[in-house]
Amino acid sequence: MKQNQPIGIFDSGVGGLTVARVIKQLMPNESLIYFGDSKHLPYGDKSKEVIVEYVTQITNFLLSKDCKAIVVACNTATANALKEVKALAKTQKIPVFDVISPVAEKVAYNFSQNIGVIATKSTIASHIYKKSIQRLNKHIIVEELATPLLVPIIEDGFTHHPISEITLKTYLSKKKLKNIDSLILGCTHYPLIFSEVNNYYQNKIRIFDSPLIVANHVKQEIERMKLLTENTTPTYEFFVSDLTPTFKKLAKKFFGAHINLEMKMLS
């Protein structure tokens, strides 16, 4: 494995771009290859078997691109198929990072006592956040709520819109989240509506910056493994299974107007 090999990142759509953007900021010399499986989103409504199938194909694609590390920038994929990604990457001795473990560790050793988690149906059904946090700190109360409408709303570009505001109010006003002092946005799409969530709570609770937590963890591990790229001009490649206006807009916003964006059909 060489330092100048790219880092592979994937998600069901645009959400993982929130993680990729911060990785770019923290490691400006790293080349990135991103795969957004926009044809099959949202993953949150799919069965575990189907998610594993999609994720396996994406992982094999990123491995074929000689990535030196893979970031599973999707909570649903992490909850349902992380074991499969690691098994495939292990054959090439490639490290795999997920978006749940670093956040759970950060939260478990914080001062929060009653934490809310909003995520897709599949992520909530796995109880992966609750299990991961309470394994580290059994005294923390974790309240989980499925918010399945948010990913389609974000993918369709209805952020900062009456539709997203009404939907958020409906979800966040649920009794289950009434007494929380902190909130985890348990889907990488959700940081794109961070300000709307914060406005609802009027800055009265802590909302964890998951992309920053994950990107910091990736950087620390890349440095520890002596794989950090230095003094090179990075390249950014984006592959999608279906080209959507929202993806194109966000990719250009986060990475600049001149990006390499290609369609890549999964078999």
Write down the pLDDT at residue 267: 67
Write down the pLDDT at residue 245: 87
In this chain, the answer to whether the domains covering 7-98+212-263 and 101-209 adopt an identical fold is yes
SS3 214: helix
Q: Is the pLDDT of residue 111 over 80?
A: no
Q: Is the pLDDT of residue 118 over 90?
A: yes
Upstream peptide bond of 191 is cis (omega within 30 degrees of 0): no
Residue with structure tokens 């078997």?
49
Res. 257 pLDDT band, cuts 50 70 90: low
Give the model confidence (pLDDT) of 225-250 as tens digits.
Answer: 999 998 789 999 999 999 888 898 88
**Is CATH 3.40.50.1860 what the domain over 7-98+212-263 is classified as, yes or no?**
yes
Mean pLDDT along residues 71-92: 97
Q: Is the pLDDT of residue 70 over 80?
A: yes
Give the model confidence (pLDDT) of 132-170 as tens digits.
Answer: 999 999 999 999 999 999 999 999 999 999 999 999 999
Say which of 22, 187, 214, 215 is annotated catalytic. 187
Say which of 32, 74, 192, 193 is annotated catalytic. 74
**Cα–chain center distance at 124:** 15
Instruction: Pick 68 or 266 by higher pLDDT.
Output: 68
Write down the pLDDT at residue 112: 78
Residue partners of 183: CB distance under 8 A and separation at least 6: 115, 116, 117, 118, 177, 197, 201, 205, 206, 207, 208
Whether 74 is catalytic: yes
Domain ranges of the chain: 7-98+212-263, 101-209
Write down the pLDDT at residue 260: 80
Whether 67 is catalytic: no
**In the chain, pLDDT over 70 holds for what percent of residues?**
99
Write down the pLDDT at residue 2: 81
Write down the pLDDT at residue 56: 97
Q: pTM of the prediction?
A: 0.94
Tell me which CATH code domain 101-209 carries: 3.40.50.1860
Q: What is the mean pLDDT of the chain?
A: 94
Q: Is the pLDDT of residue 211 over 70?
A: yes
Q: Is the pLDDT of residue 54 over 70?
A: yes
Mean pLDDT along residues 171-193: 96
CA distance 59 to 237: 15
End-to-end CA distance of the chain: 27
The two structure tokens encoding residue 159: 């952020």
